[in-house]
Chain A
Amino acid sequence: MNVPGTLLTVALGLCLATALLAPAVPARIRPALSGLGTAAAGAVGAAAGGAAMAGHAWSAWLPDLLPLAGVRLALDPLGGLFVAVTGGVAVCAGVYGIGYARHGLSGRVVQATLPLFVASMLLVPAAASVSTLLVAWELMAITSLLLVLAEHGRRTAVGGAGLWYAVMTHLGLIAILAGLAGLAAGAHGEAFDQLRAAHLPPLARDAVFLATFAGFASKAGVVPLHAWLPRAHPEAPSHVSALMSAAMVNMGVYGIARVGLDLLRGSSEGGAPAWWWLLVLAAGGVSAMYGILQAAVSADLKRLLGYSTTENMGLVLMGLGAAGFFATRGAPRLAALALVAALLHVVNHAAFKTLLFQAAGSVLYATGTRDLDVLGGLRARMPYTTALFAIGALAASALPPGNGFVSEWLLLQSLVHAIPASGVAGAVALPLAVGVVALSAGLAVATFVKAFGVGFLARPRSPEADRAVESPPSMLGGMGLAALCCAALALGPTVIVPGLARAVGTLLPGAAPATGPVSGPVSGPAMETVTLHLSGIAGTMSPLLIAAAVVAAIILLAGAVRMLAARGRRVARLWDCGVGPMSARMQYTATSFAEPLQRVFDDVLRPETDVDVTPKQESAYLVERIRFHALVPDRIERRLYGPVLAAVDAVGRRARALANGSVHRYLAYGFWTLTGLLILLAVIP
């Protein structure tokens, strides 16, 4: 057993030990044990993933662990990347969870499930056979469902969210199962190596791709299979939200990449159909747009973050789709570039979404609410959380010097330079894709200015926000770790690019690992090593240099102003036009902030507003009360899921007539079914 194998085994062992120990220790120290165990397992897991990304492959077959086929595990650079991301998120979530669990989450089930959830997410990218993958996948689904339901006793919405999640994730499992079973049947074996060598007929191949794409896309929260995500993520405890949103949804991306670019390789010799990847690109584009639009008008902080996850997964899928598309067009360099952009965005998204969900959790912990309309004024009351949220928001809005900017820049570069290579379909799709990426980036800016500016700045809009106090050190520590990752990724993305290029090499063997963005020669001048050079494309950008230049310019200006200024700063009364004082309710709220955008995108969002005027009894002209109610429903959910749910409901209602409680009738059903079967068997030769 080599380095990644040993490390992965240790990580899984730590998870299991923590899960077994947690119920046994007293509730007082349980969160600390579970959190530290999870964090340690995450750290070791991240090291395992890193080792795999560095090029140490590992595989193992444990025939006795599962009946029939046994367990097959393997770590290649691609799997290693996702293991590393999961591990990193688990470290932050584990540390953070120590403090967060004081909030009545120290129960046995929750604390024992958390490490198991992490273990399952470490296993999924390491699975090397269909049955192993499916078992790990189901373990991930069940443990995350248990964690989503952790606070079901406190809020009624949790139950509904859990139900949605359970149904959606299992429908997804069925789709994946069907797809992979079809592939395994065609390959006469279920180990991934056998699948790679299989030659499926085109129709079966398309069916396998579509089924697995649907299943994995539902996990990634891709529109229109996203309905569970904005429900489950807000209702889960915040460190679990972070794990789900930053690590679990990635597994959907992993699945699509693994199946589409790797496992179906043998079946699609001579090129996979381009429409697969245009479909992925389109699904990604729709998700990015729709997700960020819903986030932009959402006033619930965690729901906003959930929709932002849909947006970011959409961007990742756009990169993935573009990569597949370029590969079919015979442009391996561009394909590699797009894929590196997608994978880098996975890493970046994991870093900043962990941070943001944890910061949102701290706000929830301190104020008891996640409604942006009643928050505000946290800058003075929770200074560290505010600063940390600002770092995450900067990254999420894809502005320099945030880390999200780097991956979106790479994505745009790959899209922009592809025109000559992509034919008419590309000439139509790619400019639109660039427009979608740009618009989603712009809306992300609006979204996070709202989340940060309204939620944290100015004055508190409610007594709950007024009473907020800073979170305990463990929660700050978890957030600080995530913020450090964000900063490192923002300033030195060139460090992890070789690892990403190796992961790309496993998916696109046509492209040598050295293609894609390469960092300059290490021995060259200092400027070269921090600049992203793209091989074959004359595009360069240096995040570190930009950040340094901005900081230098700010210091320069501050110094110049201080030198020239003749008078000191005076604290003055807020300019309230001379009357006042202005009450906190006169501030712009999240809803009012998003109103112009809501109006601009009226046709897509279809907001529902309702003004209810109650006149006084004496006269219709004297108003006693006006109630204004505004709601932006998830339109896709309502249009698409509404009819299906109604149909299922109707069938269920009809079927109720069959079950009227009479035992005689049930016996009759059994009798007639048996008789019918026997007759059927007798008739069929």
Chain B
Amino acid sequence: MSLWRKIRKTGRVAEPAPERPTGEAPPEAAELRGSVQFRHVDAGSCNGCEVEIGSAFGPVHDAERYGARLVASPRHADALLVTGPVTRNMEVPLRRTYEAVPQPRLVIAVGDCARDCGVFAGAYGVAGAVSDVVPVDAEVPGCPPEPEAIVAALRRLTGR
């Protein structure tokens, strides 16, 4: 009962949806038409981006309302959400995860590390940026990126 009271008192937490983001969507996204499932791959991140992704899918930003959803298997996914510089140990797994996603497939590099290795550039354990391993279709800058930016990138894919 206390939970019921709490639900009633709290009401809606989700913020009103911002304007639909402008900008070029990758051509493959046209086929998805309002439903994109993401498989998240941590290729060597410091977990800062994970916190922000978590918050993007949390109640406040509620990315699910735009038709995006996180799934457990790359077979169920349409796109990969890759964070962090690609470490040597994650290079092959990342490539294989990409291979496991059925066509049409997309990759979003989330965070500065994923885009250009950020502060880890040139470190001995880093194999390169995400685009050095798999083709990247969209990028979200920031260290870590704000959840609003992540949601905007997701919305460009879902088209909602």
Using CB atoms and an 8 Å cutoff, list the residues of chain A in contact with chain B: 567, 570, 572-573, 575-580
Q: Does B33 contact A (CB under 8 A)?
A: no
Report the separation of the CA atoms of residues A209 and B97 in the bound assembly, to the nearest whole angstrom: 69
Q: Does B92 contact A (CB under 8 A)?
A: yes
5 CB contacts below 8 A, A to B, read A572-B100, A573-B96, A573-B99, A575-B75, A579-B92
Q: Does B47 contact A (CB under 8 A)?
A: no
Digit string of B79-106 for contact with A (CB within 8 Å is 1, else 0)? 0000000000010111011011011000
Q: Does B74 contact A (CB under 8 A)?
A: yes
Q: How far is the CB of B153 from chain A (nearest CB, A)?
A: 23
User: Which of B93, B99, B102 is the one whose CB lies under 8 Å from A577?
Assistant: B93
Say yes or no: A578 contacts B102, CB within 8 Å. no
User: Which of A567, A570, A578 is the one whose CB lies under 8 Å from B93?
Assistant: A578
Say yes or no: A567 contacts B96, CB within 8 Å. no
Say yes or no: A578 contacts B73, CB within 8 Å. no
Given A567-B103, A572-B100, A579-B75 contact (CB < 8 Å): no
A578, closest chain B residue (CB): B93
Chain A residues with CB below 8 A from B94, complex form? 578
Say yes or no: A575 contacts B74, CB within 8 Å. yes
Report the separation of the CA atoms of residues A576 and B74 in the bound assembly, to the nearest whole angstrom: 11
A580, closest chain B residue (CB): B96
Say yes or no: B93 contacts A575, CB within 8 Å. no
Report the separation of the CA atoms of residues A310 and B93 in the bound assembly, to the nearest whole angstrom: 50
B96, closest chain A residue (CB): A578
Chain B residues with CB below 8 A from A575, complex form? 73-75, 100
A567, closest chain B residue (CB): B103
Say yes or no: B74 contacts A570, CB within 8 Å. no
Chain A residues with CB below 8 A from B103, complex form? 567, 570
Q: How far is the CB of B91 from chain A (nearest CB, A)?
A: 10
Chain B residues with CB below 8 A from A578, complex form? 90, 92-94, 96-97, 100
Q: Which of B83-138 contact A (CB under 8 A)?
A: 90, 92-94, 96-97, 99-100, 102-103
Report the separation of the CA atoms of residues A576 and B93 in the bound assembly, to the nearest whole angstrom: 9
Chain A residues with CB below 8 A from B73, complex form? 575
Say yes or no: B102 contacts A570, CB within 8 Å. yes
Interface centre among A570, A572, A578, A579 (most CB of B within 10 A): A578
Chain A residues with CB below 8 A from B100, complex form? 572-573, 575, 578
Report the separation of the CA atoms of residues A578 and B98 in the bound assembly, to the nearest whole angstrom: 9
Report the separation of the CA atoms of residues A484 and B93 in the bound assembly, to the nearest whole angstrom: 48
Q: How far is the CB of B58 from chain A (nearest CB, A)?
A: 26
Say yes or no: A579 contacts B74, CB within 8 Å. no
Report the separation of the CA atoms of residues A576 and B99 in the bound assembly, to the nearest whole angstrom: 12
B94, closest chain A residue (CB): A578
A572, closest chain B residue (CB): B100
A566, closest chain B residue (CB): B31
Q: How far is the CB of B110 from chain A (nearest CB, A)?
A: 18
Say yes or no: A579 contacts B102, CB within 8 Å. no
Say yes or no: B99 contacts A572, CB within 8 Å. yes
Digit string of B126-155 for contact with A (CB within 8 Å is 1, else 0)? 000000000000000000000000000000
Report the separation of the CA atoms of residues A567 and B101 in the bound assembly, to the nearest whole angstrom: 14
> Which 8 residue pairs are nearest across A and B when measured between Cβ atoms?
A578-B93, A578-B96, A575-B100, A578-B97, A579-B93, A567-B103, A575-B75, A575-B73
Report the separation of the CA atoms of residues A570 and B99 in the bound assembly, to the nearest whole angstrom: 11
Chain A residues with CB below 8 A from B75, complex form? 575
Chain A residues with CB below 8 A from B74, complex form? 575
Q: How far is the CB of B94 from chain A (nearest CB, A)?
A: 7
If A570-B102, A572-B99, A575-B74 are given as contacts, then 9 extra A-B residue pairs at C-beta distance below 8 Å, sorted by A number, are: A567-B102, A567-B103, A570-B103, A573-B99, A573-B100, A576-B96, A578-B96, A578-B97, A580-B96
Q: How far is the CB of A579 from chain B (nearest CB, A)?
A: 6
Report the separation of the CA atoms of residues A570 and B90 in the bound assembly, to the nearest whole angstrom: 25
Report the separation of the CA atoms of residues A577 and B72 in the bound assembly, to the nearest whole angstrom: 10
Q: How far is the CB of A574 from chain B (nearest CB, A)?
A: 9
Chain A residues with CB below 8 A from B97, complex form? 578
Q: How far is the CB of B138 from chain A (nearest CB, A)?
A: 22
Chain A residues with CB below 8 A from B102, complex form? 567, 570
Chain B residues with CB below 8 A from A577, complex form? 93
Chain B residues with CB below 8 A from A579, complex form? 92-93
Report the separation of the CA atoms of residues A572 and B92 in the bound assembly, to the nearest whole angstrom: 16
Report the separation of the CA atoms of residues A196 and B100 in the bound assembly, to the nearest whole angstrom: 74
Q: Which of B21-43 contact A (CB under 8 A)?
A: none
Chain A residues with CB below 8 A from B99, complex form? 572-573
B74, closest chain A residue (CB): A575
Q: How far is the CB of A57 from chain B (nearest CB, A)?
A: 64
